Structure 1
Amino acid sequence: MQNKIPIEFISRLAEALGKQFGLECEVTIHDLTLDDKEHTIVQIENGHVTHRQVGDGASEVVLETLRHHKGEDQIGYCVSTEDGRLLRSSTIYIKNEKGEVEGIFSINYDITKLMLAENVLSQLIRDTKQLSAPAAKITTKVEDLLEDLIERATQLIGKPVALMNKEDKIRAIQFLEEAGAFLITKSGDKVSEYFGISKYTLYNYMEKKATKNGK
């Protein structure tokens, strides 16, 4: 490359990125001013990602992009390795003052393990969402516990109290009863007020639950 290209800075940048993002991040510098286009890599960090080393050539993807896009940077595209790993890649073309491409700065990040982790996390999250009741919180005060249980009952129904019908409220109160909410002092008053029903209606809804269980 010509001296006008800040190769010393680019070299330090490649080393810094390789260290910053760890062993899964490969950073390469290609010198396209060399006569031998099959051996353009002049620096590579974490070359184990693609099993390349200094003296190897540019990938087919990079050369094709250069040929058809006239040196337009390509950011965040995906390629796969011969052994089936998935890489998220970016290719930045180094140009001289005339706009001629003289080098390539390439980043290849192996996201295979991240994809596997995403699948595991997605499964866990999906299973959690399929639970019949919202997740419980750990509280330090009894009054906070009651508020949390009421909030979970509302989440279980999936609509605000103003839109709940009788069956919705019965279901919510049954959840509270099963969770032990009515063991808390004066919980009946607060639950009745929250759902906009009388204490008589509250006890009636609880009796419906008891009758159902009796069957």
Structure 2
Amino acid sequence: MTINARDELMKYIPIADAIAQTFGKNCEVVLYDLTTSQSSVIYTTNNHVTGIENGHPFNHLLTQVLLSKNLQNDVAANYQIASNGKENVKSTSVLLRNTGGDAIGCLTINYDTEPLFQIQQFLSDIVVKENPLDLKKETEYNNVQEIAKTLIQQIIGESDVEKMDRRKKLEIVASMEEKGVFLIRGALETVADALQVSKVTIYSYLDEIRDRAEGN
């Protein structure tokens, strides 16, 4: 008994369904009968991706698959199509042959990648892009006092404390206050030692700085 092409292609329907169910609603699978140019689409699943329906011709397959230089070993992989108002549809087509070796059909997977681009944009918006925190370096600190010392030294920098006048020391203490250095327990004593002044002097600096802030 001779089996016509369409009957032979129907056995691929479970494969089409399996692919679509595996990759979800954004994955459309289309089965074509290449023995007829008209009404060549014989089965679709998740056809909301491109809007292809049963009975459609295979016109676009001519250039993108059958005549494509990318067709290797009966597979044209990862080409892009725009259909149904969607610009980011990734497609792969496989030629289906009968026992005589004739290409009688084509199974095409169309995947809507637009949601992936949206996720990519979302991740790009929330990921820190500049000055990433060096966690390895942070683990070198054993306690908050060490962190305080590091901050204080960074603020003082290369300045010669012995030659520093009151105005400059007041400016440095103001910068430390702004950065929250004095919220760390023991920081005030450390700052006093670093600036070679008494704790009482640091208190007077802070009072002056806070009075100015309240005045503004």
Same fold (TM over 0.5): yes
Quick one: which of 111, 119, 122 aligns to 2:121? Answer: 119
Specify whether residues 207 and 67 from structure 1 end up closer, same or farther in structure 2 by C-alpha distance, changes over 3 A only: closer
Per-residue Cα deviation, 1:72-96 (whole angstroms, up to 9, x for no partner): 3201222222524311100101112
What displacement does 1:20 show? 1.6
TM superposition score normalised by structure 1: 0.58
Aligned to 1:142: none
Aligned to 1:7: 9
What displacement does 1:40 show? 0.4
What displacement does 1:132 show? 4.9
What displacement does 1:207 show? 7.1
RMSD: 3.7
1:20 aligns with 2:36: no
What displacement does 1:38 show? 2.3
Amino acid at match of 2:57: G
Specify whether residues 84 and 207 from structure 1 end up closer, same or farther in structure 2 by C-alpha distance, changes over 3 A only: closer
CA contact (8 A) 1:4 1:96 kept: no
Q: Secondary structure at the match of 1:79?
A: strand
1:81 aligns with 2:26: no
Aligned to 1:211: 156
Aligned to 1:131: 131
What displacement does 1:15 show? 1.2
TM superposition score normalised by structure 2: 0.57
Looking at structure 2, the residues matched to 122 and 207 of structure 1 have their Cα atoms a distance apart, in angstroms, of 34
CA contact (8 A) 1:88 1:111 kept: yes
Which stretches in structure 1 are left out of the alignment for 5+ residues? 137-151, 154-174, 189-202
Specify whether residues 107 and 62 from structure 1 end up closer, same or farther in structure 2 by C-alpha distance, changes over 3 A only: farther
TM alignment of 1:56-71, pairs within 5 A: 56-67=56-67
What displacement does 1:16 show? 1.4
Q: Secondary structure at the match of 1:105?
A: strand
1:43 aligns with 2:68: no
Looking at structure 1, the residues matched to 122 and 151 of structure 2 have their Cα atoms a distance apart, in angstroms, of 40
Looking at structure 1, the residues matched to 16 and 39 of structure 2 have their Cα atoms a distance apart, in angstroms, of 18
CA contact (8 A) 1:62 1:91 kept: no
Per-residue Cα deviation, 1:3-56 (whole angstroms, up to 9, x for no partner): 79853431111111122211111101111223xx12101100011111121111
Q: Secondary structure at the match of 1:103?
A: strand
CA contact (8 A) 2:78 2:90 kept: yes
TM alignment of 1:107-186, pairs within 5 A: 107-125=109-127, 127-128=128-129, 130-134=130-134, 152-153=136-137, 181-183=142-144
Looking at structure 2, the residues matched to 206 and 31 of structure 1 have their Cα atoms a distance apart, in angstroms, of 73
Amino acid at match of 2:118: L
Q: Secondary structure at the match of 2:107?
A: strand
Identity %: 18
